[in-house]
Amino acid sequence: MSAASFAQSDAPMVGDKPLVQVKPRGMAKHAAVKQAAAKPQSTAVRLQGCLDIDDGTKERLNCYDEVYKPAPKDKAPAAKSVADCRYAKEEDERLACFNGFVESMPKLPKG
């Protein structure tokens, strides 16, 4: 290939050779750690993480609500699963419902 054909390419040139950019070794490792940290957690692990927050607090309810968005109903059906807790109209009822299901779950590894 002639130098003229290199000059027509979009790659920047160093002398008569195309410039190649290489990431430092630490950057590749850092990117892998970042990617692993961004890995989404299962719903059960996220719910169990809420148990680390003081019981009976708005913060714990907010944590549960981030997993299952509240959808209050005037006549909420009896909860058959943890997902059904979102239908409870009263916050205290919703918190008690979530606690009942989540506290009875087998402990899962975090991450």
Q: Which residues of 26-52 are buried (b: 16+ CB within 10 A; e: fewer)?
A: eeeeeeeeeeeeeeeeeeebbbbebbe
Return d(Cα 13, Cα 11) in angstroms, integer.
6
Stronger pLDDT, 13 or 59, i.e. the higher one = 59
**pLDDT per position as a tens digit, 4-57:** 554 555 667 777 777 666 666 555 455 544 555 567 889 999 999 999 999 999
Q: What is the mean pLDDT of residues 77-88?
A: 95
Residue 93 burial (10 A CB sphere; 0-12, 13-18, 19+):
middle
Q: Lowest mean pLDDT: which of 21-25, 45-49, 71-75, 99-103? A: 21-25
| The pTM of the whole model exceeds 0.75 | no
Domain positions in the chain: 43-103
pLDDT for the residue numbered 50: 96
Strand, helix or coil for residue 18: strand
Q: What is the mean pLDDT of residues 86-105?
A: 95
